[in-house]
Chain A
Amino acid sequence: MDLEKFLILSAIIFAIGLYGVLARRNVIIVLMSLELMFTAVILAAVTMSRYVASREAVAQAGVAAESVMQTLLTGQVFALFIIVVAAAEIALGLGIVIAFYRSRETVDISQANLMER
């Protein structure tokens, strides 16, 4: 039951973030909701690495402690790379927001409609 409650918590945070991305007009709120979704995914990855045994881990179990350790911690390496990508994404996203605000004097994402015409 430990595994499921962490996973469902991450699913709830992801769903709230998805709602924010879909339903809000302020582009900074949309970016913050994206960060919520990233956090939920990282939480799911770390949970999996803590509780779920991969096929490799099962094959190595009982043989060598060190290789089992490395196999089980792969999920945390994955989470670390997601954090790096999220940091790059938020820096670029906020750069775009500032550039957008300079040209339109607003942060309302429904005003970003050049392709509608």
Chain B
Amino acid sequence: MLFQDLIFWALAAVAVVGALGVVLLRDVFRSALLLVLVFLTVAGLFFMLAAEFLGIVQVLIYAGAISILIIFAIMLTQNVQEGNLPNRLQFAAVLLPALLLTALAFVFIDTDWRLIADLPAIDGTAVEDVAFRDNTFTLSKLLLENYALAFAAAGVLLLASIIGALSLVRER
């Protein structure tokens, strides 16, 4: 348990510092690289949360594909080194997230969560040990049976966004 706590705090510290770097650094390219770091730490957190399929998807899609897209967009535009300027809304832009964070933290701590650990055991084993055993198998079953329509709609959405992006950047 102590080892897990250690890993969590290390990942959390890297994620928070990396996220601050993304929004505060002057150099847009370094921001993009720090964004990849944040995505990788969040993937690590997914593995800690018994979501190994989502962790792999996070590495493939976020740290792989989306960051490459962002780096391409940065390379195609100017002012990479001096590109990250603040606007005139600094005070409100600090106040609003701070208020939101306070409210969310209060709600998270104050709520009386109904935890999985408190559920009665199934056939003598705790629910936690049963539920997250075959993560990928159960996830695929859910996607292709219970949520088959949404799965197909996601494919249509991706196709539409590809066509939309192509028609946006096409030379006229």
Q: Which residues of A contact B (CB under 8 A)?
A: 3-9, 11-20, 22-26, 28-29, 31-33, 35-36, 39, 42-43, 46-47, 49-53, 57-58, 61-62, 65, 68-70, 72-74, 76-77, 79-81, 83-92, 94-99, 101, 105-108, 110
Across the interface, which residues of A come within 8 angstroms of B85, CB to CB?
24-26, 108
A31 to B166, CA, bound (A): 18
Q: Rank and list the top 5 A-B pairs by shortest CB-CB distance, nearest first.
A: A23-B93, A20-B23, A88-B161, A95-B165, A95-B168
B77 touches A95 (CB 8 A): no
Across the interface, which residues of A come within 8 angstroms of B133, CB to CB?
69
A86 to B105, CA, bound (A): 25
Across the interface, which residues of A come within 8 angstroms of B54, CB to CB?
42, 46, 76, 79-80, 83
Known contacts A22-B92, A23-B87, A88-B158: does B70 contact A32 (CB below 8 Å)? yes
A8 touches B20 (CB 8 A): no
Q: Does B10 contact A (CB under 8 A)?
A: no
- When C-beta atoms are compared, the residue in chain B nearest to A74 turns out to be B142
A49 to B46, CA, bound (A): 11
Across the interface, which residues of A come within 8 angstroms of B89, CB to CB?
22-23
* Other A-B pairs beyond A79-B51, A101-B76, 6, CB < 8 Å: A4-B108, A39-B38, A58-B114, A74-B142, A76-B54, A88-B161
CB within 8 A of B108: which of A11, A50, A86, A88? A11
A94 to B130, CA, bound (A): 42
Shortest Cβ distance from residue A18 to the other chain B in the assembled complex, whole angstroms: 4
Q: Does B7 contact A (CB under 8 A)?
A: no
Give the residues from 69 to 89 in chain B that come closer than 8 angstroms, CB to CB, to chain A. 69-70, 72-74, 76-79, 83-87, 89
B39 touches A39 (CB 8 A): yes
CB within 8 A of A65: which of B39, B117, B130? B130
B77 touches A101 (CB 8 A): yes
- Give the residue among B85, B90, B127, B143 with the most A Cβ atoms within 10 A: B127
Across the interface, which residues of A come within 8 angstroms of B49, CB to CB?
6, 46-47, 49-50
Known contacts A6-B49, A20-B23, A22-B89: does B142 contact A92 (CB below 8 Å)? no
A72 to B33, CA, bound (A): 34
B94 touches A23 (CB 8 A): yes
Across the interface, which residues of A come within 8 angstroms of B115, CB to CB?
3, 51-53
Known contacts A43-B45, A68-B131, A98-B169: does B83 contact A83 (CB below 8 Å)? no
A30 to B48, CA, bound (A): 29
Known contacts A13-B15, A53-B116, A101-B77: does B86 contact A61 (CB below 8 Å)? no
